[in-house]
A and B are shown apart, each in its own frame.
Chain A
Amino acid sequence: MLIIDCPNCGPRPETEYGYGGQAHVAYPEDPHALTDEEWAQYLFYRDNPKGDYAERWVHSAGCRKWFNAVRDTRTYEISAVYRTGETRSETQKGA
């Protein structure tokens, strides 16, 4: 089980969290300005990298706040967590 470091509550077991997929996929400013293809990209297409992946988590059984984490999809090691709305800093981008 992973121990995930909630930016608000500190390290807590994975079972307290919910998963929210890829981070930084913003809801389009004006969905109607998009082509069907572009809208489908927003709806259905996500990255699937081998290595660092910025993704969203929510501390469902804690503060109930969403936040972002950078997880290595090979090792499950989380190298950074940061609040929603914050950008991933250069140091958090890791190797």
Chain B
Amino acid sequence: MAADQTRRIDAGGAIDRSTPVELVVDGTTLTGFAGDTVASALVANGRLRVGDSIYRGRPRGILSAGVEEPNAFVLVHGDHDESMLPATTLELVPGLDVRLLDGIGVLDQKPDPAEYDKMHVHADVAVVGAGPAGLAAARAAAATGARVVLLEQDFRLGGSLLASPAEVVEGVPAAQWVEQVRAELEAAPEVRVLIRTTAFGSYDNNHLIAVEKRAEHLDGTARDGIPRQRIWHVTAAQVVLATGAFERPIVFADNDVPGVMLASSVTTYVRRYAALPGREAVVVTTNDSGYAAAHALLEAGASVQVLDARDEGASPVVASAAQAAGLRVRTGCAVVGIDGDASVEGAWVARIDAEGALVGDAERVVCDLVAVSGGWTPNVSLHSQRQGALHWDDDLAGFVPTAAVRNQHLAGAVRGTYWTDGCRAEGDAAGVAAASAAGFSAASRSTVIGADAVAEERVARAGRTRQLWVVEGREGGYATHFVDLQRDNTAADVLRATGAGMRSVEHVKRYTSISTGVDQGRIGAVNTIGLLTRVLSGDDTRAIPPGQPGQDETASGPAAGAARPTPGAIGNTTFRAPFTPVAFAALAGRSRGDLFDAARTTSIHPWHEAHGALFEDVGQWKRPWYYPRPGEDIDAAVARECRAAREGVAFMDATTLGKIEIRGADAGEFLNRLYTNAFKKLAVGKARYGVMCKPDGMVFDDGVVLRLAEDRYFATTTTGGAARVLEWLEEWSQTEWPDLDVVCTSVTEQWSTIAVVGPRSREVIARMAPDLDVTREGFGFMEFRETVLASGIPARICRITFSGELAFEINVPTWYGLQVWEDVAEAGADFDITPYGTETMHVLRAEKAYPIVGQDTDGTVTPQDLGMSWIVSTTKDFVGNRSYSRSSHRAADRKQLVSVLPLDRSLRLPEGAQLVEPGALGDYTGEGLPSRPIPMLGHVTSSYHSQALGRSFGLALVKAGRDRIGQTLIASFEGRFAEVEVADAVLYDKEGARRDG
């Protein structure tokens, strides 16, 4: 079965050899085992080469075994293709059909049919990373009874231990230790272990956001009913970051040829996946860690040669282990070039000097694998997202955290702790400290040693890392010395950036695009910074603005004339979420389609639907827009609806208006202070239109207020403004006038409102409410009556108008809304009563220049600008009043509401069209941009066709508009111009003769 797995090592590895799994790669079927990734299956089949590079089309190979992979990206075919997944983290499951990508993917244009979920949890301790440090931390915290969440991006627990299963931890082999801790955690009642879960964002208040893959690894029908991914929002009292470290490559000529691989990844492929990346290997390293790959390869039967870039070679313990294993080691040497294009055929090896330049001739060594280790970079992303401090540690040759963020703890390789028992001990201590800080007490298993001693031991255990930022090639130049493989950026590109004057690492990043790829600089960032230390002087680095993560705080760089700055003089680019890519679909979760936002409908909605209404969204409300009859377009329908309202009778569902009850002994005084006009002396049973302004004097909302009783008012608001008006009332009553006895309650949902409009509306209301005197004398304008309808339903009927016509509004409890609407339809049938929607409402109100707050106003418009000085009281004070005496409010060129009449009576101007003086256009034809700015006088805020006037018209805000009445202006829109005449805002029934019928 596994005959084709030519590079599968005979024994070992965390793979299930009894479960072969087929994989289709670019149409070719390969076989791997359960427990493989796509990348490890490729390695096991002797395939290191993947897609070509993004810009230069160079052959590329698998570089890593994790999330830092810059080359091996695949597209996974499925119901919905998914692009740019690293093969190194993609779990091998049956049915996987992938295409290797050339450094870039394309989004599938089909909708994603999968479901995505969200979860919110609170924890005492959240632990990120399940290597030796994270496992020990989770175990220690769990033992105290704390609620623990452990997040691990891999599909297995163990972290670095997965690549060293035989290493002894607490007296047992690592694989067994991981299993023991896992069992212990799973048995603990308050512990949640999440694998395949990447914590990608870390936010204030220890809010972590993670994405969990839930279904992709399942086979066929096992996926049914399981959301594909889930976003976790974890709020934790304490956080332990045990996020490990990334190995850096070495920058030498042709270091991107397939077969060049990170040394620790070679170890992972050999020991975790039992897959042999090469049979003849050269290991080139700047530090002790590279030797692990050499041992792994040797034990797997490969021939190995180690090139140690350090003149002194490895630390004594590592050196003697190498000697004992019979490893061939050459010190002070490095790979200076690669032989081969599509795969490594040989390595050019030479002695190098202190600058990384060749000493003497290079020698060609035949090999098929070059394992590289340029040192380690702690994975500080989540730490730095919270502005956790970093500094360059010259001994560890990496940016390490200076101190944990408040309520966070750091353990293991993220701190530069690069030996297993150190990681385990730090994790244990961090777990205890975190649980204790969260209020749980426990004893640590480990002896806590002083911080200085730990720092010394870290350096001693790691050994010295040579900071070899670039190795000269056999020929000059750096055009194939790759720094960022995914972006195809080389050392030459870095030199081009500094040559162009770039100094800050942020500028170099943007000039080159280094660190902007999927791996976000995990491969190339520190090597870029290292390169900058080679080409920038101390003076250069002193000119770099401070504040980059890890940048030295005090006078950057060495004294003038000193040799070289350190990476600390330069710092990192900013670390941002997400740590690894997250699909938008996962972030959206279920908030798609119908569930994107709540849709509010009135109790009358079913009737509107049954009668063919088209709907308009107003805030969250679905409002009838117009009711087309067969063959009618919007214009014909609106003209018919307008005619009915002006000449006969029409009705509209006005339920969506905001409604607020204001109650209390001081309710009248309260409204007096917030509305521009007076309400305190409004008689019970009467209504009044009111305008509310912000302290700056600008119109905020408007509506009609009814006085229900001495201590009760009922205010209506704009449909969209209901919530903010209630908030506004509550804010003033609570924060400024707590002494006033007033309570505000939203009653929008409690009442249905039906407007019955038109000269014949009185007859309809008379039929609806036989007990009511609806005569002109008996029921005056701006009055309301409580009554019982013919149907027995109690109702509050108001005589108010938003069209200028005789009109009534029937308010009934919401659950009677549909019934009463149908009764109105029946009572008005003889008069051909016509339902109308928001479009007709807008035409009718605009003909009367009734403004819509938010359409004809924009937060810079006063009541006076609207021509409503009459509503601004001069006898009482109110919020906004003081502003009217500010000079800006008295300026002669304030924009004022007027109407505009296109000379072409059929032209409906687009709302937003600009208005300018005739002659101001100069030579501007509407093509492109004018040669100089054209002063604007204002803009069109509303525009319709008036059935009553038989022409188009608009409302507009125009500088000194009322002084311009009669003038002709130019409307500019969509590259066209049209002449318009400025007219008084009110175009229909100026005398207000129609409102009483």
Contact = CB atoms under 8 A, between A and B. Distances in A.
Contact of A1 (B235, B879, B881, B886): B235
Interface in B707-733: 727, 730-731
Contacts of A85: 738
B535 to A, nearest CB: 35
Given A66-B735, A75-B406, A43 B696 contact: yes
Interface in A28-50: 31-32, 34, 36, 39-40, 42-43
Interface of B: 203-205, 207, 233, 235, 406, 695-696, 727, 730-731, 734-736, 738, 877, 879, 881-883, 885-887
B727 A84 contact: no
Contacts of A27: 695, 736, 879
Listed from nearest, the 3 A-B pairs whose CB atoms lie closest are A31-B882, A76-B204, A1-B207
Contact of B205 (A2, A20, A60, A84): A2
A58 interface: yes
Given A2-B205, A65-B734, A58 B727 contact: yes
A1 B727 contact: no
Interface in A1-38: 1-3, 13, 18, 20, 26-27, 31-32, 34, 36
Contacts of A64: 730
B439 to A, nearest CB: 15
Contacts of B731: 20, 58, 66
Nearest to B120: A13
Given A66-B735, A77-B205, 13 more contacts: A1-B205, A1-B207, A1-B233, A2-B205, A13-B235, A20-B735, A31-B881, A31-B882, A43-B883, A56-B735, A75-B406, A77-B406, A85-B738
A39 B727 contact: no
Nearest to B407: A77
A58 B203 CA distance: 22
Nearest to B237: A3
A42 B738 contact: no
A43 B204 contact: no
13 contacts: A13-B235, A18-B727, A20-B731, A27-B879, A31-B877, A34-B882, A39-B883, A39-B886, A40-B886, A58-B730, A60-B727, A76-B204, A84-B738
Interface of A: 1-3, 13, 18, 20, 26-27, 31-32, 34, 36, 39-40, 42-43, 56, 58, 60, 64-66, 75-77, 84-85
Nearest to B696: A43
A83 to B, nearest CB: 10
A39 B734 contact: no
A60 B727 CA distance: 8
A25 to B, nearest CB: 10
Nearest to B694: A43
A76 B205 contact: yes
Contacts of A39: 882-883, 886
A3 B205 contact: yes
Contacts of B696: 43
Given A36-B887, A39-B883, A26 B736 contact: yes
Nearest to B207: A1
B204 A75 contact: yes
Given A18-B727, A43-B695, A66 B883 contact: no
Nearest to B697: A43
Given A39-B882, A85-B738, A1 B203 contact: yes
B411 to A, nearest CB: 22
B118 to A, nearest CB: 13
Contacts of B734: 65-66, 84
Nearest to A14: B205
A43 B730 CA distance: 19
Contacts of A32: 877, 881-882, 885
Contacts of A36: 885-887
Nearest to B738: A85
A43 B696 CA distance: 7
A36 B886 CA distance: 6
A26 B737 CA distance: 11
A26 B406 CA distance: 35
A35 to B, nearest CB: 10
A19 B233 CA distance: 22
Contacts of B233: 1
A20 B734 CA distance: 13
Contacts of A20: 731, 735
B874 to A, nearest CB: 12
Contacts of A31: 877, 881-882
Nearest to A65: B734
Contacts of A75: 204, 406
B885 to A, nearest CB: 8
A39 B203 CA distance: 38
B407 to A, nearest CB: 9
B656 to A, nearest CB: 21
A37 B709 CA distance: 42
Contacts of B736: 26-27
Contacts of B738: 84-85
A37 to B, nearest CB: 10
Contacts of A42: 695
Nearest to A40: B886
Contacts of A1: 203-205, 207, 233, 235
A31 B731 CA distance: 19
A34 to B, nearest CB: 7
Contacts of A84: 734-735, 738
A26 B696 CA distance: 15
Nearest to A1: B207
Given A43-B695, A58-B731, A65-B734, A3 B235 contact: yes
Contacts of B883: 39, 43
Contacts of A60: 727
Contacts of B406: 75, 77
Contacts of A18: 727
Contacts of A56: 735
A61 to B, nearest CB: 11
Nearest to B122: A3
B788 to A, nearest CB: 35
A10 B881 CA distance: 38
A60 B724 CA distance: 11
Nearest to A64: B730
Contacts of A2: 204-205, 207
A27 B882 CA distance: 12
A31 B500 CA distance: 58
Contacts of B207: 1-2
A55 B694 CA distance: 20
A84 B882 CA distance: 25
Contacts of A66: 730-731, 734-735
Nearest to B736: A27
B490 to A, nearest CB: 39
Task: Pick from A1, A26, A64, A84 the residue with the most CB of B within 10 Å.
Answer: A1
A85 B737 CA distance: 10
A26 B736 CA distance: 7
A39 B882 CA distance: 8
A52 to B, nearest CB: 15
A39 to B, nearest CB: 6
Task: Pick from B205, B235, B695, B881 the residue with the most CB of A within 10 Å.
Answer: B205
B90 to A, nearest CB: 31
Nearest to A78: B205
A61 B207 CA distance: 20
